[in-house]
Amino acid sequence: MSVIQVTRSSMPHFDEYVHEIKELWDSRWLTNMGMKHNELEKQLCSYLQVPFVSLFSNGHLALEVALEALELDGEVITTPFTFASTTHAIVRRGLKPVFCDVNPIDYTIDVSLIESLITDKTSAIVPVHVYGHMCNVKEIESLAQKYNLKVIYDAAHAFGTKLNGKDVGSFGDVSMFSFHATKVFNTIEGGALTFNNELYVNLFQSFKNFGITGPEDVSYVAGNAKMNEFQAAMGLCNLRHVDEEIAKRKHVVEQYKKELSGIEGIQLSPEQEGLQSNYAYFPVMFNGYKYSRDEIIKRLAEHDIFARKYFYPLTNEFACYEGKFDLGSTPVAAYIGNRVLTLPLYADLNLEDVNRICTIIKS
């Protein structure tokens, strides 16, 4: 039996990629908003149904740029049930993360708790669309309006998801996507910001390119976070196949659900109403099951099957933040973090392997 990793990167055929990059040997234009980059931005606007897309070298730097360019200060309300990147970006920008708990249904920010965390120092909310579930965007929007806060979504998990037909990237002031190799859509490393405000086009363009605003003008002290032509070419190829990849993921998820639903102590997250999922991850909660989450991981690993404790530890529990945050403030996130496991999921995972994984879990 072959090894099954928790994920496997989607790749186009070798020949398709070679064909895509061939022109670069003529143009000799390898980065700095080249033709592949501009073409990918255009195609992503159309695919994601948003007016503006700005590409980045990775999702993390895209998020840092969004926080920086929107001139946020003081406190930012966010959740610790996320990847390191979300919290690190906030802290690295000199902002104070104020951790809000998540709800136990879809593991996104608990909107009923946000208002109690808002102070006169709060400048923004940074919610995370975990696993491709969507946050309660409507409630977040009304709070943001009421208190005049910016909303920057971490949509790294949510490429292609839609709520009642409206794309995830169209909510809030800005959404950040990651196109890392392990995500549903990848450009090897890469990321993007989507937004509706035309004023951000030049702002983000400048902030990812040393603050340069003209041939002899440098208006901001900014770094470098540009996507290069080889990344963009990978994106152009992968975008042609992403719908097919999502459809295959859906089959895998349906098989998991068939095998694992209705079992005492195994909790699957319910489908959100009106949500068209991208099937990015398959989280399972072992909550009073005959084996603990950690026992399940061990049993699977004995069969060369690798699941992931995602997200554990919570970001507010990281060693680098020791003593900085009140760990008791997010009990639901802690409860989920101790019991959740994301099972292997990728487009080409075959259904026999899914059955094998489920048999090991159930036996």
Ligand X SMILES: *Cc1c(COP(=O)(O)O)cnc(C)c1O
Q: Which residues bind ligand X (CB under 6 A)?
A: 58-60, 82-83, 85-86, 128, 154, 156-157, 178, 180, 191
Smallest distance from the beta carbon of 181 to ligand X, in angstroms? 9
Q: Which residues of 39-61 are buried (b: 16+ CB within 10 A; e: fewer)?
A: ebbebbeebbebebbbbbbbbbb
- Is 169 or 260 the residue whose CB approaches ligand X more closely? 169
Q: Note whether 140 and 119 are within 8 A (CB).
A: no
Residue 188 CA to residue 169 CA, distance in Å, equals: 21
Smallest distance from the beta carbon of 67 to ligand X, in angstroms? 13
Smallest distance from the beta carbon of 127 to ligand X, in angstroms? 11
- Is 62 or 358 the residue whose CB approaches ligand X more closely? 62
Contacts of 316 (CB under 8 A, 6+ apart): 80, 87, 97, 99, 324, 325, 327, 329, 330
How far apart, in Å, are the Cα atoms of 241 and each of 37, 50, 86, 244?
A: 18, 20, 28, 5
Smallest distance from the beta carbon of 177 to ligand X, in angstroms? 8
Q: Note whether 179 and 53 are within 8 A (CB).
A: no
- Is 167 or 189 the residue whose CB approaches ligand X more closely? 189
| CB-neighbour burial class of residue 1 (10 A; exposed 0-12, middle 13-18, buried 19+) | exposed
Residue 345 CA to residue 293 CA, distance in Å, equals: 17
Smallest distance from the beta carbon of 286 to ligand X, in angstroms? 22
Smallest distance from the beta carbon of 83 to ligand X, in angstroms? 4
- Is 101 or 154 the residue whose CB approaches ligand X more closely? 154
- Strand, coil or helix: what is 109? strand
DSSP label at residue 124 = E
Smallest distance from the beta carbon of 199 to ligand X, in angstroms? 25
- Is 97 or 191 the residue whose CB approaches ligand X more closely? 191
- Is 85 or 161 the residue whose CB approaches ligand X more closely? 85
- Is 89 or 334 the residue whose CB approaches ligand X more closely? 89
